[in-house]
Amino acid sequence: MDAKLVHPNTEDIAFKSKVAQINKSKSQKGKVIGCRDYGYILQLENGLQGLLHNKQNKFNIKLNHNDVVYVKVHSIDFKRKNIKFAF
């Protein structure tokens, strides 16, 4: 049987590296880069992007494009490279 060398994808490495920089117990500063019916797309200072879903917006705060907010990381899906935020 032939052995295959598995090389990690550079995108995966970059994503994991940026996620490792996040202190998940502290609020993160993010900027609204997109508004959708289901929530807001945020970009953190280190370039990571994720979703603040309306379900995680407990206070029903209305945000606008380019608003700066402080959020906590709710969950991270490394396989799909998804980050979900919450207030």
| pTM recorded for the entire structure | 0.83
Cα separation, 52 vs 86, whole angstroms: 6
Measured CA to CA in angstroms, residue 2 lies from 5, 8, 36 at distances of 10, 19, 48
Q: In this predicted model, what pLDDT tens digit does every residue of 35-81 receive, in sequence order?
A: 999 999 999 999 999 999 999 998 899 999 999 999 999 999 999 99
Could you give the CA distance from residue 81 to residue 63 in angstroms, rounded to a whole number? 24
